[in-house]
């Protein structure tokens, strides 16, 4: 476990002659696993998975790139990649606390496709498609294009809103996954945003570096670096996702001067242990990615089997803080159900407040007192 390794998993389930096309991202997209018949060629499914796949076509489509599919360990029924990607019948169960729009995005859109919740920054939803679909997707109400609700981004109105709203200094491009667009199409969006004087920086949220590292071409990186300061938030949940190919793709982005953060989701049976999280964050730093957020899984419909307790999340942060590099530790957050925005949750290190001073505990449980400032010595 402590031995950090980056591996390649190719050709994996594919015949050796697939390697000829392997590094072509269009081949990867064309050969995604999207049907029960295709998946059963490779894996023996459980009844829960078979039923889940048959029903997924109405809710959130199944799609898995060959690159990512190869990370599934066919001998492990609890494989953490399998749990993230293969639908299960439990997705059709809804518990009363669950919602179709758990972060209350639809009610915070001044223009369809643009979520303006915080004063100085916006979330710009530019597509409803991803390279592969995460079963716990917080935006499954529109993502993948199979449910009744559609994402209808009003491009011109969104740009005009941004041009006319000077308090917006930060635009987060998400969806769906904007890196699925051609370089030219993405550049149109970036250049229009970049030309707005009050927009100080742009970020792109993307899981493409993990799902489809072949898309991170030198041409893409050369285009992106024209729009600095540009950040990318990736989404890796398990150390197994950080393969050789992924590390190289992230290296190309880092070499283009793009600072990267990782947003992971705490998922039952996937990454809900200190050991797995520690290996993940260490590998991320080796790929020059700073762990940014660890999300408590949103109350999206049909996700109860993937959610964990908040105590588990707090104990994971406690197991990291002090025990490893500060750079490796993400902020654990809950996106306030119904539209509260991201709220930090931390282990409690304050033992008590004492006469204006404070008594704290450290990561080893030892207590330390920080006294109140001496009023005679403070000018």
CA–CA dist 104, 321 (Å, integer)? 31
> Is the CB of residue 69 less than 8 Å from the CB of residue 302?
no
CA–CA dist 193, 200 (Å, integer)? 10
For ligand PLP, the closer CB: 29 or 143: 143
Q: Looking at 45-149, list the stretches that DSSP marks H as alpha helix, in order from N- to C-terminal side.
A: 47-56, 66-69, 80-85
Q: How far is the CB of 115 from ligand PLP (least distance, A)?
A: 4
Q: Hey, what are 162's tokens? A: 């941004």
> Is the CB of residue 81 less than 8 Å from the CB of residue 72?
yes
Q: Is 355 left (phi over 0), alpha (psi -120 to 50) or beta?
A: left
Is 121 among the residues known to form the active site? yes
Catalytic residue among 79, 103, 137, 287: 137
Is 118 among the residues known to form the active site? yes
Q: Is the peptide bond before 11 cis (omega within 30 degrees of 0)?
A: yes
For ligand PLP, the closer CB: 121 or 252: 121
Tell me the residue number closest to ligand PLP, measured at CB.
123
Q: Listing from the earlier edge strand, what are the strands of the sheet with 121-125?
A: 114-118, 121-125, 170-174, 201-205, 230-234, 260-266, 289-296, 331-336, 341-344
Is 3 among the residues known to form the active site? no
Is 298 among the residues known to form the active site? yes
Catalytic residue among 133, 141, 298, 332: 298
Is 79 among the residues known to form the active site? no
Q: How far is the CB of 219 from ligand PLP (least distance, A)?
A: 28
For ligand PLP, the closer CB: 119 or 365: 119
For ligand PLP, the closer CB: 80 or 261: 261
Give contact residues for ligand PLP (rule: CB under 6 A): 103, 115, 117-118, 121, 123, 172, 342
Catalytic residue among 82, 139, 207, 307: 139
Q: How far is the CB of 99 from ligand PLP (least distance, A)?
A: 15
For ligand PLP, the closer CB: 6 or 292: 292
CA–CA dist 278, 202 (Å, integer)? 29
Catalytic residue among 79, 101, 133, 134: 134
Q: How far is the CB of 208 from ligand PLP (least distance, A)?
A: 18
Beta strands in 297-356 (DSSP E): 331-336, 341-344, 350-354
Q: How far is the CB of 341 from ligand PLP (least distance, A)?
A: 7
Catalytic residue among 79, 128, 129, 130: 130
CA–CA dist 231, 227 (Å, integer)? 10
Catalytic residues: 117-118, 121, 130, 134, 137, 139, 298, 335, 342
């Amino acid at each position: 476990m402590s031995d950090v390794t980056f591996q390649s998993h190719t050709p994996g389930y594919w015949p050796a002659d697939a390697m000829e096309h392997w590094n072509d991202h269009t081949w990867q997209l064309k050969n995604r696993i999207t049907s029960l018949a295709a998946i059963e060629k490779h894996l023996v499914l459980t009844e829960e998975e078979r039923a889940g796949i048959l029903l997924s076509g109405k809710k959130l489509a199944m799609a898995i790139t060959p690159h990512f599919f190869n990370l599934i360990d066919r001998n492990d029924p609890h494989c953490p990649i399998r749990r993230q990607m293969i639908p299960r019948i439990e997705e059709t169960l809804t518990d009363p606390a669950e919602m179709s729009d758990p972060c209350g995005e639809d009610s915070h859109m001044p223009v369809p496709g643009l979520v303006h919740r915080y004063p100085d920054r916006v979330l710009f939803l530019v597509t409803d498609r991803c390279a592969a679909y995460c079963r716990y997707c917080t935006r499954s109400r529109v993502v993948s294009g199979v449910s009744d609700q559609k994402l209808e981004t009003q491009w011109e109105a969104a740009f005009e809103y941004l041009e006319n709203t000077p308090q917006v200094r930060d635009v987060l491009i998400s969806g769906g996954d904007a890196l699925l667009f051609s370089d030219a199409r993405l550049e149109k969006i970036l250049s229009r945003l970049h030309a707005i004087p009050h927009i100080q920086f742009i970020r792109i949220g993307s899981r493409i570096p993990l799902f489809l590292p072949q898309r991170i071409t030198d041409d893409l990186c050369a285009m992106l670096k024209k729009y600095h300061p540009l950040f990318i938030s990736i989404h890796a949940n398990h150390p197994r996702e950080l393969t050789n190919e992924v590390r190289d793709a992230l290296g190309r982005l880092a070499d283009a001067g793009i600072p990267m953060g990782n947003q992971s989701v705490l998922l039952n049976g996937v990454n809900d242990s200190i050991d797995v999280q520690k290996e993940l964050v260490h590998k991320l730093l080796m790929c020059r990615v700073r762990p940014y957020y660890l999300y408590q899984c949103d109350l999206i419909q049909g996700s109860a089997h993937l959610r964990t307790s908040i105590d588990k999340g707090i104990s994971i942060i406690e197991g990291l803080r002090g025990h490893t590099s500060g750079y490796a530790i993400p902020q654990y957050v809950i996106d306030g159900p119904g539209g509260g925005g991201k709220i930090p949750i931390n282990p409690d290190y304050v033992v008590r407040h004492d006469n204006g001073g404070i008594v704290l505990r450290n990561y080893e449980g030892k207590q330390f007192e920080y006294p109140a400032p001496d009023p005679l010595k403070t000018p």
